[in-house]
Amino acid sequence: MTDQKTTLLRGARILGGEPQDVLIEGGVIARVGRGLQAAGAEVVEAEGRVLLPGLVDLHTHLREPGREDSETVLTGTRAAAKGGFTAVHAMANTFPVADTAGVVEQVWRLGREYGYCDVRPVGAVTVGLEGKQLAELGAMHDSAAGVRVFSDDGKCVDDAVIMRRALEYVKAFDGVVAQHAQEPRLTEGAQMNEGRVSAELGLAGWPAVAEESIIARDVLLAAHVGSRVHICHLSTAGSVEIVRWAKSKGWNVTAEVTPHHLLLTDELVRSYDPVYKVNPPLRTEADVMALREALADGTIDCVATDHAPHPHEDKDCEWGAAAMGMVGLETALSVVQHTMVESGLLEWSQVADRMSHRPAAIGRLAGHGRPVAPGEPANLVLLDPAYRGGVDPAGFASRSANTPYEGRELPGRVTHTWLRGRATVVDGALK
Amino acid sequence: MKRHLISAADLTRDDAVLILDTAEEMARFADRPIKKLPTLRGRTIVNLFFEDSTRTRISFEAAAKRLSADVINFSAKGSSVSKGESLKDTALTLEAMGADAVVIRHGESGAPHRLATSGWIGGSVVNAGDGTHEHPTQALLDAFTTRRRLVGREGAGLDGLRVTIVGDILHSRVARSNVHLLATLGARVTLVAPPTLVPIGVESWPCEVSYDLDAVLATSDAVMMLRVQRERMNAAFFPTEREYARRYGLDEDRMARMPDNAIVMHPGPMNRGMEITAQVADSPRCAAVEQVANGVSIRMAVMYLLLGGAEPALSRTDEAPTETPMPQENN
């Protein structure tokens, strides 16, 4: 799985610092310094571009098995590599559901076989995502896939007893339950954020309280049983307050935010264009600002894409009939640069923390999210922050094109990605 | 240039007054022995109904036929739509058949907006009610009825009139369109409902909200009662049908507290005994039957103005608009 080729990066700004040279040898970072020489090495002139550890996504829908018309492990991991990711966590809501060792091992093996990006399957918490009976969490952990993150994402583990048991049970192997916080009764038929815009548009509301009440319950449960809990795609200012409070108590709570919740608001739904339909829904400007601030101050630990590919026909229809979700792997870093770096909220070193170190730590993922230093695995991404360009889904490696950013100008571009020293992306193109 | 009627919010005051005035002219023809105008001869109007609504459909159908348009009724039930054909494919089919206008009733909010902005069809789109979003021709006919009864003057708006809308505001496309249009025409609107049936976010609407019907009756020039579905009770929007009727239903005692010339309206179909008693429904102050007749005139006016009638057939033939005044649906 490693590449024996030697690569010399010249003038790369590690974590946005001063330009240095980086020598990659045998799949690891061999040396870091100025004026490095290596005979026979392939030289990449970084020309002041920014070098970060390969990005890690805690929340990716690869859709295989079952919905290969929207994405496969191959197309999804190619999209991931193009977006600068070296590891993704593949969500469990496939067909069949990833609730057995067999399914998670299949997904994991496909990822290894293709070699674009490490695929870390997420195991379902309950059988069939039905919230009734625990899936064989231990078997999934013990499998070759080594599952450490469990989630019924797409559905909330809404039964308090099942949630409590899951939180407790995974302690045996240092797993974590990633909760899709959505009180189901409060969101029956919900189509968009409940507020001024939903009132005008006549679309059934998805109230902030439906997310916040579950998060409040789950941080209390996690504290009670001494487990850790991870909150998926946190989307409201109120959720930020609850997580901030839980962390102030010293409870083991982590949270992620998606790029789209850092940028887009429910005002976009006025177009009734289902490309803006997503779950949890786009919220208000005040929520967006609170999420950015929380990601900056560490209340929210990390960015996760919730990359959710859907075939064209599932978005080329009326709002109510459309599927929820947006693709995000190939635009995540640009959105974070736009919303967090160019607004002065995060330094590049902190971007590395929020998009690589922290998600790898939450997922207990070895070999990723490591420092860019000698002896570390050469999982790296080189990006050109000066780049400006419009988003064109025709150029996506993903099989789906349901991006909310089509035609929008976003900064930055991934030029190179290395997975254990092997270049998966060179000059913006997949290898 | 495509022209649509999707939302009452898209109408300026001038647009709205022109529609009402045009409807007055159309209404005059309704009293003649021969009710038909040649205005839209050779034009094709499709009534695309994804929801059952016989009343609204026949109103649009009568309006189009009186303008001599060819009318095609496309009901989703029993058609390929019920077999899973998408809105897009239906639209492409209608486009291929050369529809000049599509009148759409759909259970999903925003479906007419999608039809008008997706590029699937080139003709005009008229929203005949979408989900819990809007029903602009209903609001226009309500304004027309109110103006006839309480203002009695063409060219006028509804300035200073106090209109109270009572009932299931949360799920009502009629209420949403009325709030926009009444505000545009200068009326003062008060919504009355139990708090469970008022949408979160209503504070940005150009109206007042009250939970107490009795408190606003004495200052209402028009009271519009909305149909309340009995099933709402099962989702705990109110405890029982009887409690709803007691607190928010309009009966004779309440009607007696309204100003002498105040009117009662209802978009129909009425739940007699629920939101309105039979005595009120059948009283001379209730304009429900007039509303139905006015609906045809309003829809004639809308289609005439949207399709820019090729042959001037109105009484003021000299000034028949060549450039139609309806705004283009934007965003």
Q: Per residue in A406-422, pLDDT tens?
A: 999 999 999 999 999 99
pLDDT score for A295:
98
pLDDT score for B82:
57
Q: Do A195 and B202 touch (CB under 8 A)?
A: no
pLDDT greater than 50 at residue B322: no
pLDDT score for B1:
30
Check whether residue B105 and residue B182 sit in a common domain: no
Per the domain annotation, does B126 fall within a domain? yes
Which of B4, B89, B114 would you mutate first to test chain A, the one with the most A CBs within 10 A? B114
Check whether residue B114 and residue B162 sit in a common domain: no
State the average pLDDT over residues B282-290: 97
Which of A118-122, A257-261, B27-31, B266-270 has the lowest average pLDDT? B27-31
pLDDT greater than 50 at residue B325: no
Which of A118, A306, A314, A384 is catalytic? The answer is A306
Chain A residues lying within 8 Å of B181, measured CB to CB: none
DSSP letters for B121-134: --SEEEEEEETTTB
**What per-residue string of b and e applies to B97-113 under the rule 16 or more CB within 10 Å gives b?**
eebbbbbbbbebbbbbb
Chain A residues lying within 8 Å of B176, measured CB to CB: 200, 202
Check whether residue B168 and residue B280 sit in a common domain: yes
Question: Is B272 labeled as catalytic in the residue annotation?
Answer: no
Check whether residue B214 and residue B200 sit in a common domain: yes
Check whether residue B273 and residue B309 sit in a common domain: no
Q: Do A320 and B117 touch (CB under 8 A)?
A: no
pLDDT score for B232:
81
pLDDT score for B86:
84
In 10 A of CB B28, how many CB atoms? Answer: 12
pLDDT greater than 80 at residue B197: yes
pLDDT score for B116:
94
pLDDT score for A19:
97
Three-state SS annotation for B219-283: CCCEEEECCCCHHHHHHCCCCCHHHHHHHHCECHHHHHCCCCCCEEECCCCCCECCCECHHHHCC
Calpha distance A3→B13 (Å, rounded)? 71
Per the domain annotation, does B131 fall within a domain? yes
Per the domain annotation, does B327 fall within a domain? no
pLDDT score for A361:
98
Task: Give chain B's contact residues with A (Cβ, < 8 Å).
Answer: 86-88, 106-111, 113-114, 117-118, 130-134, 173, 176, 199-205, 331
pLDDT score for B85:
74
Chain A residues lying within 8 Å of B173, measured CB to CB: 202
Contact present, B314 and B25 (Cβ < 8 Å)? yes
Which of B50, B109, B117 would you mutate first to test chain A, the one with the most A CBs within 10 A? B109
Check whether residue B182 and residue B223 sit in a common domain: yes
Check whether residue B281 and residue B309 sit in a common domain: no
Check whether residue B213 and residue B301 sit in a common domain: no
**Phi, psi (rounded to 5 degrees) for B135:** -150, 75
pLDDT score for B233:
79
Check whether residue B145 and residue B280 sit in a common domain: yes
Question: Is B2 labeled as catalytic in the residue annotation?
Answer: no
- Cross-strand bridge partners of residue B102: B46, B125
Check whether residue B172 and residue B184 sit in a common domain: yes
Q: Per residue in A127-158, pLDDT tens?
A: 999 999 999 999 999 999 999 999 999 999 99
Per the domain annotation, does B325 fall within a domain? no
Question: Is B55 labeled as catalytic in the residue annotation?
Answer: yes
Mean pLDDT (chain A) is 97
Closest CB from B87, B133, B205 relative to A201: B133
pLDDT greater than 80 at residue B67: yes
Per the domain annotation, does B83 fall within a domain? yes
Q: Do A319 and B200 touch (CB under 8 A)?
A: no
pLDDT greater than 80 at residue A2: no
pLDDT greater than 50 at residue B313: no
DSSP letters for A354-412: IIIIHHHHHTT-TTSS--SSTTSB--EEEEEEEEEEEB-GGG-SSS----TTBT-EEEE
Q: What is the pTM of this model?
A: 0.93
The DSSP bridge pattern shows strands B208-210 and B188-192 to be parallel
Q: Per residue in B128-139, pLDDT tens?
A: 999 999 999 999
pLDDT score for B319:
40
> B267 or B325: which carries more pLDDT confidence?
B267
Per the domain annotation, does B324 fall within a domain? no
ipTM: 0.89
Domains defined for chain A, CATH in brackets: 7-50+375-430 (2.30.40.10), 54-362 (3.20.20.140)
Q: Per residue in B157-180, pLDDT tens?
A: 999 999 999 999 999 999 999 999
In the numeric block, the tokens 């040396």 are attached to A31
Inter-CA distances, A107 with A66, A71, A72, Å: 12, 13, 10
Q: Per residue in A358-377, pLDDT tens?
A: 999 999 999 999 999 999 99
Q: Per residue in A63-90, pLDDT tens?
A: 999 999 999 999 999 999 999 999 999 9
Residues 208-267 in A contacting B (C-alpha not used; CB under 8 Å): none
Contact present, B50 and B26 (Cβ < 8 Å)? no
Give the total number of structural domains in chain B.
2
pLDDT greater than 80 at residue B81: no
Helical spans, DSSP H, in B40-86: 54-66
CATH number at residue B311: 3.40.50.1370
Calpha distance A314→A215 (Å, rounded)? 30
Per the domain annotation, does B1 fall within a domain? no
pLDDT score for A380:
98
Question: Does A317 reach chain B within 8 Å, measured CB to CB?
Answer: yes
In 10 A of CB B83, how many CB atoms? Answer: 7
Closest CB from B86, B109, B117 relative to A202: B109
Confidence grade of residue B29 (pLDDT, cut at 50, 70, 90): confident
pLDDT score for B200:
97
Mean pLDDT (chain B) is 90
> A151 or B86: which carries more pLDDT confidence?
A151
Domain that holds residue B262: 136-287
Check whether residue B257 and residue B296 sit in a common domain: no
Per the domain annotation, does B3 fall within a domain? no
pLDDT score for B31:
82
Check whether residue B65 and residue B16 sit in a common domain: yes
Confidence grade of residue A5 (pLDDT, cut at 50, 70, 90): confident
